[in-house]
């Protein structure tokens, strides 16, 4: 077992009031972004997740792997097709996605946590019927005719049902589940699913105490680009309507709302590139990102 680092010890020293709150509670952490490709950051993340397990919290990790998928597609010379700027996932591509996410990346993340002293097991949404998926379609409106049409993005899916049995078996055995975001349809077809979406669905199904979405930005920013430390669901919806929340942040906050509406106590968007971001969010007064509550 690796000893806590000095930074970890500083955080833990002030964490006692928070340890009781999270004792034996489930915390779902979505890990992704470009930070995954940096070895030291990955090892630091592994140490932090192991530490959560060692102090009595039940972490569940859901990971992405976009940069790694792009790298493998390039190496294998698999050509991407785009419709309205959105990549279509065909049969050849979904094989690469599953190979990278459920194979290389999944085992790297699980190994980093295990090396830090906690037992972690990598699974995908296809294992134990964890995630039953359905095909996602998008609609776009023609700016000239105002007519909507459906875009078929191929084998891109979304969770239709989450069966938590395999997760609870692992949690009860003090094993950290590490979940790759692929799922299977009722016919066995594999679907590529957005990691944020999987994390929100898993957190909701487990009635987690917290959902933490690690991203490449500090959290939700106001009109002056200043971090908003806490928001209600109503304030988030108002921010979307006003345009303050826009672009790629919209699906992230919508994932948080989805999870909260299914029983998660709070969801946080925070910068995964910051050292010990997970520990700072859970164990300090100021937190490390934007906390969204009901």
User: Do you know the residue count of the chain?
Assistant: 294
Contact 220, 164 (CB under 8 A): no
DSSP strands (E only) in 114-198: 120-124, 131-141, 148-162, 176-180, 182-184, 190-193
- Which tokens sit at 19? 């340890």
Predicted structure pTM score: 0.91
**What CA–CA distance (Å, rounded) separates 195 from 59?**
16
**What CA–CA distance (Å, rounded) separates 49 from 60?**
9
The secondary structure of 84-108, three-state, reads CCEEEECHHHHHHHHHHHHHHHHHH
Torsion angles phi and psi, residue 196, rounded to 5: -60, -45
- Per-residue pLDDT 10s for the chain (294 aa) are 566 666 666 666 666 777 778 888 999 999 986 667 677 778 889 999 999 999 899 999 999 998 888 889 999 998 877 776 667 888 989 999 999 999 999 999 999 999 999 999 999 999 999 999 999 887 776 666 667 777 788 999 999 999 999 999 999 999 999 999 999 999 999 999 999 999 999 999 999 999 999 988 899 999 999 999 999 999 999 999 999 999 889 999 999 999 999 999 999 999 888 888 899 899 887 778 999 999
**Helix %, strand %, coil % of the chain (to 5):** 40, 30, 30
Q: What is the DSSP letter of 2?
A: P
pLDDT of residue 81: 79
């Amino acid at each position: 077992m690796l000893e806590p680092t000095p930074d970890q010890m500083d955080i833990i020293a002030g964490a006692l009031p928070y340890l009781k709150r999270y004792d034996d509670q489930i915390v779902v952490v979505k890990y992704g972004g470009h930070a995954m490709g940096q070895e030291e950051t990955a090892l630091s993340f592994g140490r932090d997740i192991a530490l959560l397990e060692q102090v009595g919290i039940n972490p569940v990790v859901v990971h992405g792997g976009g940069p790694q998928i792009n790298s493998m597609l390039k190496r294998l010379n698999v050509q991407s097709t785009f419709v309205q700027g959105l990549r279509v996932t065909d049969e050849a591509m979904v094989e690469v996605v599953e190979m990278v996410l459920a194979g290389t990346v999944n085992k790297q993340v699980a190994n980093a946590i295990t090396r830090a002293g906690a037992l972690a097991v990598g699974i995908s949404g296809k294992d134990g019927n964890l995630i039953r998926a359905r095909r996602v379609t998008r609609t776009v409106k023609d700016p000239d005719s105002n007519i909507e049409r459906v875009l078929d993005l191929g084998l891109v899916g979304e969770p239709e049902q989450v069966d938590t049995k395999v997760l609870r078996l692992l949690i009860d055995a003090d094993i950290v589940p590490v979940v790759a975001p692929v799922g299977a349809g009722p016919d066995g077809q594999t679907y590529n699913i957005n990691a944020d979406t999987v994390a929100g669905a898993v957190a909701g199904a487990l009635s987690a105490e917290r959902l933490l979405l690690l991203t490449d930005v500090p959290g939700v920013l106001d009109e002056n680009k200043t971090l908003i430390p806490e928001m209600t669901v109503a304030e988030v919806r108002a921010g979307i309507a006003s345009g303050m929340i826009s672009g790629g942040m919209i699906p992230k906050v919508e994932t948080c709302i989805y999870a909260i509406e299914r029983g998660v106590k709070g969801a946080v968007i925070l910068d995964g590139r910051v050292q010990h971001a997970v520990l700072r969010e859970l164990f300090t007064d100021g937190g490390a990102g934007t906390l969204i509550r009901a």
